[in-house]
A and B are shown apart, each in its own frame.
Chain A
């Protein structure tokens, strides 16, 4: 059913008229023109669509708009105005990306990990990041970048 919702995204309120079941992913991409959050699988299995809900990593493809209420959503676009969040900087230092498609999701997961575990072990990283697939195989660089961001905190 089409309904009116007001959502909080990157510290701004947006009022939209959409289907109550529309996943946050498509709200971001199709309605709000925030294309940084990527579609990879739509079933919660790849992590490409990772955003923050009150600071925690969630898969936006699995979250219907109707459950969001006024909770704070952060997307890759809202991470740091100039794209210079310590994790983004570490990503550039380690020259992580290959195709780059999975990377916004990887970065959002990494930031959430560091929010909760500022000094993660390699095992913490492995466990937390397992939901984010990278077909290009940049896992090792991602791990290095997270460890680097952790020490620069």
Chain B
């Protein structure tokens, strides 16, 4: 009998389960598979799950090659383990891409081990054996037996090398729609999330931080707060040592925070209100960063209004040249007509639905962590450095994440929880209030991009100049489309330093570039009197036949493929659709291609999206059901952020602090229909979490133009509707 050995089951229910069922004998075949003698198969899903459904699609890769009935498999989230797994990271739309060969090889290896064990036991050549649905068959003798019956012998066989994987045409499972393996637990509200984790004696902690970027702790008086019911202790913690070299995802808004620890969340929330803290303006900070460079965090209390002014100023100065083809200066000097447009976008908060949290228990030089994290190995490295302990002493159980979108790549909160547990010498769960999450976030940067196009007297496009930057990072991808399609091309970049913390946000940089670039292409195609899709295809044809430059980092043929697919599936240009207010957009990022058409209406200042047609090329689609769900979600998420998303600051304080002031897309604003189409090909999977997100911004801007006659250059678009 299989237990619920959910590592999340509370101590109480675990005890009951153990008394009812004895632990079965699990035989381990590779790091990913366990089988019992009575043929229960368990697959460990290595990567953290944040809603992109890898807990279903990754085990599918294994099950395909293992040749078992996927519906009978038990899937379990693997813990962080350097010894067992290679790459336990969720981000960059890489999970399936990186696992494609690795996990199939694991499944095929385990199958091979079982076959070897069977051939030895039955004393028949391995070549005469076949498998199906977790059974081994020998047709000559008519023998058959379950995988489980060979599991013990197979587990002692060395993991084979040189495994041959199935050809795509022989897939039975991959490419078939499979439901989310955690669905039944989710709809019952089972405690799957870090937020839900609990052990006996666990305390609750929250951290108090400056209410403005550019400030730091001066002093605090915990006397009154400590007397509040349920409060155990209040103390400051320092995240990173001043000399600690920060690794890639070591970023945090404030290095010194005050921990308030108590018995219940409510106790801690109340005590925070009674805590007396004095903040002061922080000086400029220089800290050792990656690659020997110093991170410079400027002093000052920043404001959104000022940021926009600074960005416009930067646009007037020369930028850092990132790419130059031909002689763009000459082309612009000789141009008969120039179109120049500037696009901007604000900071965005991630607003993951499950607020930041982590359980930590430090005992001596051993650390146990349970919580949501996209990159456990990075945070383990950081914690090991900070505590001066070996990384092997850190155990991390990967909780299902209530959203990630890049936010949970930054594991500073795990370090916070660990330092609190160490100080208080007890198991503790750190929780951020929504306000903590939103006001001290790691935001999508502010961006600006200016596009200039030069035309000759025949309205032919002769040169393109793009110049962009942001607070504090530039969005520019100098070698992406339309680079490579024009003889004269110039790309420049600039940045504005800031003390507002920023980081990865679903399709970083692309999520803005697509809006700017695809709106601009729409506008210039109109000037040239060309159909927007035909114009893009024309440019791509040039990149395909006779590309300019060598570093173009996109595949024009796949780009064209999604544009053609969206044109055909949306009925673009068909007479019956000529009245529709529709916009098109296409973008390439994270190795995959996406094109979208939006149909919408604007009624009394409200945008009603009638339909989204999405065409995607992410190579082989492992699980069409999960892929479709994610592509639909990306469209809705994109529409919401394009229309409403923004986080603004005054004197270092965010204006939005919770969902009553931060505008999220709601049920009634979702499209009435979303169609998702995949290009059918045999390209190895190239990722899907991010690619369908960026183009929707451009499609929205272009459709809004059709509906209102007004171009939309500045996000959020809804703010400019009235």
Contacts and interface: CB of A to CB of B under 8 A. Distances in A.
B507 interface: no
Bin chain A's interface residue count: 35 or more
Contacts of B196: 29, 35
Interface in B203-243: 204, 229
Given A26-B265, A134-B353, A97 B666 contact: no
B659 A19 contact: no
B183 A99 contact: no
B659 A46 contact: yes
A67 interface: no
B266 A19 contact: yes
A31 B265 CA distance: 10
A137 B633 contact: yes
A41 B439 CA distance: 13
Contacts of B265: 26, 29-30, 39
B189 A43 contact: no
Interface in B605-640: 625-626, 629-630, 632-637, 640
A107 B189 CA distance: 10
A35 B12 CA distance: 14
Contact of A135 (B10, B229, B353, B635): B353
Given A43-B659, A76-B189, A92-B184, A100 B402 contact: yes
Contacts of A43: 434, 658-660
Which of A97, A100, A126, A129: most chain B Cβ within 10 A?
A: A100
A37 interface: yes
B92 to A, nearest CB: 18
Interface in B658-673: 658-660, 664-668, 670-673
Interface in A89-143: 91-92, 95-104, 107, 122, 125-127, 129-143
A36 B400 contact: no
Contact of A99 (B351, B353, B355, B667): B353
A72 interface: no
A42 interface: yes
A22 B400 CA distance: 27
Contacts of B668: 126-127, 129-130
A2 B229 contact: yes
A95 B629 contact: yes
Interface in A6-22: 18-19, 21-22
A38 B672 CA distance: 28
A24 B42 CA distance: 38
Nearest to A142: B667
Given A38-B354, A92-B183, A143 B629 contact: no
A95 B636 contact: no
A48 B667 CA distance: 14
B143 interface: no
A41 B667 contact: no
Given A95-B625, A99-B401, A99-B403, A137 B188 contact: no
Contacts of A125: 667
A30 B431 CA distance: 12
Interface string B633-654: 1111100100000000000000
B186 interface: yes
A101 B187 contact: no
A60 interface: no
Nearest to B352: A135
Contacts of B192: 100
B14 interface: no
Contacts of A38: 189, 193, 195, 353-354, 402
Contact of A95 (B180, B189, B403): B180
Which of A23, A136, A140, A143: most chain B Cβ within 10 A?
A: A136
Given A46-B353, A130-B667, A140-B670, A135 B403 contact: yes
Contacts of B667: 125-126, 129-130, 132, 139, 142-143
A91 B180 CA distance: 11
A35 B188 contact: no
B52 A140 contact: no
B53 interface: yes
Given A42-B434, A142-B667, A30 B632 contact: no
Interface of B: 10, 50-53, 179-180, 182-184, 186-193, 195-196, 198, 204, 229, 264-267, 270, 351-355, 400-405, 431, 433-434, 625-626, 629-630, 632-637, 640, 658-660, 664-668, 670-674
19 contacts: A33-B10, A35-B190, A37-B189, A38-B193, A40-B355, A41-B659, A43-B659, A75-B189, A98-B630, A99-B50, A100-B192, A104-B189, A127-B668, A133-B659, A133-B666, A140-B670, A142-B667, A143-B667, A143-B670
Given A38-B189, A43-B434, 17 more contacts: A29-B265, A35-B198, A41-B658, A42-B658, A48-B353, A75-B189, A96-B183, A97-B51, A97-B187, A99-B50, A99-B400, A99-B403, A101-B353, A131-B666, A135-B664, A136-B633, A139-B666
